[in-house]
Amino acid sequence: MGSIILVLAALISASTVAVRGSFPRTTGELILPALNGEVTVLRNARGIPEIRADSAEDLFTAQGFVHAQERFFEMDVRRHTTSGRLAELFGDELWETDAVIRTMGWREVAEREVDALPAETRRYLDAYAAGVNQYLEQSDGSIALEYDVLGLQGLDVDPEPWTAADSVAWLKAMAWSLDGNLKDEILHGVMENEVGPDRAAEIFPTNRPDQYAPIVAHGRQTPEGFVPAGGGDQMVEEPGAVRDRVASLKAAGRAADTLGALIADPGLGADVGSNSWVVSGERTASGKPLLANDPHLAASVPSTFLQMRLRCNEVNARCPFDVGGYSFSGMPGIIIGHNSHIGWGLTVPYIDSQDLYIEHIVDGAARRAKGSAEVREETVTLKSSSGRTKDIVVRSTSNGPLISDVGLTDELRSDRGAPGSQGPEGKASEDEDSGEYAVALRWAALEPSQSIRAIFDLNRATDFDEFRDAAELLKSPSQNLVYADVEGNIGYQLPGALPKRRVGDGSKPVEAWRPGAAWDGFLAFEDLPYAYNPPEGYIVAANQQIIDAEMPEQAGNSFGFRSQPIIEALEGRRDWDARATAELQGNTYVEWAEEFVPALVAAQPLEPWVVDGQEVLSEWDLEADPESAGMAFFALTMRQVVQRTFGDEIPSELGPGQGSDQYFAVLESMMDEPQNPWWDDVNTPQTESRDQILSESLLAARKEITAVMARDPEQWSWGRLHSLTLTHQTLGTSGIAPVESIFNIEPRPVEGGSAVVSAWGWDSRGKDFSVVNGPTMKMVVDFGDFDDSLWINQSGTSGHAFHAHYADQLPDILANEHDPWPWTRAAVDAPDADGFVDEQLKLLPPG
């Protein structure tokens, strides 16, 4: 490593060309043979691009070129991820991550989707790919500093051409992070075996629409579909019994864990979600709607989204796009934003599109209620960065790939029995003690769809009907879609492939051999909830329950710790404007603390110095400001409460989530049950109660805060515990300090926290409160005047370390400050428009 550090130091200090050679060219003229006409790329003082073209194909060709200019390394990592080829870039230790993705077959599904796309969509994707490849062809070898660093470790990078499947495949990574409840299913199955069905059910509390308002307040399911008016009747499907095979479930969990945070870590609870809301003109100063959105994803540099504008010089059939907002590098179009007619925001609905099936495999066949099903095998070769290869056998049944195979360690294999073990007299049988058990993953994202079309159709939609038509195409990942338009309408639509289940509700694994265990297709789009101009004059979608009656299938399984403060604020005034809305995005009130603080203050102190902490809590205003002593002591105490209540019975590899709203909600429901068995520590001879756990937690937190900060409460502050180190998505965790210092941004104190509107969350399974996810961008769209809309990104436009726009927006988003971003051509081109036209690049066709 010493030689790497020396060479790297020489590279950085002595050769600014090596560092800056990959920076994008933003002025002058460039010839792009893939273009049919001239394209203009404007950049403002933040480096945010606006692309102007005469045809849709030229527009997307230029977008591909600009994305590659700014963030090709990020794009290359994304396609290596979705292809199961990370070991080629980062070494043999990632072969298991590659194996999990290859087992699920993300790339193969994407290629099948591309082959089935209509001609127009395929043209747009191919045009985008052509733009990326023009960048690669014109680069002089200095594509990104990351490649130079990897080259010091022997990697010789020559990126292959971009393809349409590279773009489409990233939808699988999005869906993995934002769809389903795989980890909850594993936990549910394991805990049923550990503590029985009744107690296991207690750590998966149901939503409470009487306490936390749902997204769609008026509507119900009918035989004809969802009707967005009237009340909803309670509809409950009783889950069937599940016989758990713990070793295979743990293996499946281990396999899932290898993927880590692709764009968000599913283990982080509801912080991996978003805030969004729309307010109608009856509640705004302008008389026109406002739309706000801030997705909570992995905190990283570069940030998840890249802000940009796509403008056809003349909007017509040949070039129907005039849209701006936030894009994914590697994908054409705008993911979140607005056009000249409508705007939309996205949040996670927690649609359960993933089911785990316990497969009983006997003599090479999967047991079924009637007969058996084929177990298909294929061999996949994984190539490592060292040039070595590793073969894995991928097995799948009619329910999907056996993901437990990848996560099966020797110890787990021993626990569950060797594959292919025999029954009596050496013959395979269907007896439960013969054969082997494995876990199959059935997931909507592994079934080809045309979800990529939804992006293009959203980008050019002009009204609510066209918006819903586009939403119908979005199968995976499913998202809460909030809507507003220039005519004054607001709305909401839940899209997605939501399985129809005949057995169970999807909350826990199902025995694949049970009658009716397989899915019965998907719910029709007409059955999915939507809203249009509700009487409240607002719609809030912050990952809470979707409708006030349970849906026929599981959806919206989070709580209202963030949504309810937003709703209460919106109810309180009728003069909202963009600035006031942006301020609400920075709300730091800890809603869920209301239930616990009085009990902690009243608890019996086990030592006199604990009283100091209780006094701090009694004076705390429940705001999670960086200077707050109350939030610091409360967070430490609640971590102790969660761990002491659940950590003795929940396996460490599965939780408990110490910053997860699931466990906050469970504890909230237990506060009136001081003798609930969960309070007891099974590792001690005595039986603990609620009061004892609270007292012990206060004492432990008092000792910890003294050790990490000070004995004197005057020196306590939340920001000293809760800080953000903006970490490079790959090299930021290399373990090589000089490399990390180049690509990471030093730690900064941060407000907010888990289950707070200002949702800067920490790893619920970690040992500290360091921020790992939060608002990856914030936007407020003002439909009274688009030029008054407000925007901010988590890091910056550029993906190049040392570039001025690498992390220039970070201080502002941490302070909840937003930038203007002019929309109209007059405002954009005006010389005093906040320095918008800072740089101009002409992209020209040949000849």
By annotation, the residues acting in catalysis are 274
Which structure tokens are listed for 766? 């970690």
d(CA 511, CA 438): 10
d(CA 209, CA 733): 41
What are residue 393's DSSP bridge partners? 379
Peptide bond into 605 cis (omega under 30): no
Residue pair 64/132 in contact by the 8 Å Cβ criterion: yes
Smallest CA-to-CA distance from 106 within 128, 86, 135 is with: 86
Token pair 């102790």 in the structure block, residue: 640
The pairing of beta strand 49-53 with beta strand 538-540: unpaired
d(CA 558, CA 577): 29
Smallest CA-to-CA distance from 38 within 29, 26, 48 is with: 29
Question: Each residue of 574-585: b (16+ CB within 10 Å) or e?
Answer: eebebeebbebb
Residue pair 49/63 in contact by the 8 Å Cβ criterion: no
378, amino acid identity: E
End-to-end CA distance of the chain: 50
Distances in Å between the alpha carbon of 152 and those of 4, 11, 387, 742? 6, 10, 16, 15
Token pair 């179009």 in the structure block, residue: 333
Residue pair 360/513 in contact by the 8 Å Cβ criterion: yes
Task: State yes or no: 352 annotated in a binding site.
Answer: yes
CA-only gyration radius of the chain, Å = 27
- Return all residues near 228 (Cβ < 8 A) that are at least 6 apart: 216, 218, 219, 529, 530, 531, 532, 534
**How many other C-beta atoms lie within 10 A of the C-beta of residue 91?**
16
Token pair 């906040």 in the structure block, residue: 834
The pairing of beta strand 354-362 with beta strand 510-511: parallel
Alpha-helical runs (H) found in 620-673: 629-646, 661-670
d(CA 423, CA 367): 14
- Return all residues near 712 (Cβ < 8 A) that are at least 6 apart: none
Q: Strands, DSSP E only, in 398-494?
A: 400-401, 436-443, 480-485, 490-493
Cα 440 to chain center, whole Å?
23
d(CA 362, CA 359): 10
- Return all residues near 820 (Cβ < 8 A) that are at least 6 apart: 787, 788, 789, 790, 791, 834
Task: State yes or no: 355 annotated in a binding site.
Answer: yes
What are residue 439's DSSP bridge partners? 358
d(CA 523, CA 223): 12
Beta-carbon-side half-sphere exposure of residue 745 (alpha carbons within 13 Å): 27
d(CA 164, CA 475): 19
Phi–psi pair at 358, nearest 5 degrees: -75, 115
- For the annotated binding site for Ca(2+), the residues are 185, 352, 355
- For the annotated binding site, the residues are 185, 352, 355
